[in-house]
Amino acid sequence: MPASQTPGPPSPPFDAAATLERALGALTRLQSERGCWVGEVVWCTMLISQHIIVSHLIGQPLSPERKEKYLRYYRSWQTPDGGFGMHRESPAYVYMTALAYVAMRLMGLGKDEELPRRAREWLRADGGMLHIPSWGKFWLAMLGLYGWEGVNPIQPELWLLPQWAPVHPRRM
């Protein structure tokens, strides 16, 4: 047997119960008094954009501090070509870029300010808002920016299908 393949010392036995206890202990130490765990969640701008849109729709204004944090997040996620992708290494997508553009405008940025201007330029170069998928059309229609006749209808009964069904709405 070559030296690179000589077995080393035997591995200690794996104790799943002890590992679980250590993990639960670590989580318990991180838990705040309110019961939540505070930490960074890295996700694309889609969630922030939807939060901004919903806040606008329900008349719940964002604080200036929160707006500045959101704008910092958008600045750090904007791709060199001006769009927004699914993750940091991702190319830009119409869905993320369109939602980000609308959200930035709802937060009060002018259309010619750098962040929204670059996003708008990317959208125009990549087919525009008409290429946004169904959920994007839904959000735009909720804001009165897109006609409901252009939103693909999904019959509510389809949600009752089993998850494995090929026509389940979660696949649309």
Q: What is the pTM of this model?
A: 0.71
Residue-wise pLDDT tens digits, 122-149: 999 998 888 899 889 999 999 999 999 9
Query: Does 157 score more than 70 pLDDT?
Result: yes
Element (H, E) at 18: helix 16-30
Token match 């001006």: residue?
82
Cβ count near 156 (within 10 Å): 8
- The two counts, helices (H) then strands (E), for the chain are 6, 0
Query: Does 1 score more than 80 pLDDT?
Result: no
Q: What is the pLDDT of residue 109?
A: 97
Mean pLDDT of the chain: 89
User: Rounded to whole angstroms, how far apart are CA atoms 33 and 126?
Assistant: 47
CA dihedral (157, 94, 102, 83) in degrees, to 10, reads: 150
Residue-wise pLDDT tens digits, 45-101: 999 999 999 999 999 999 999 999 999 999 999 999 999 999 888 999 999 999 999
Query: Does 9 score more than 60 pLDDT?
Result: yes
Query: Does 40 score more than 70 pLDDT?
Result: no
User: Rounded to whole angstroms, how far apart are CA atoms 108 and 136?
Assistant: 20
Q: How many residues does the chain have?
A: 172
Please name the residues in contact with 38: beta carbons below 8 A apart, sequence gap of 6 or more: 30, 32
Cα first-last separation, the chain: 54
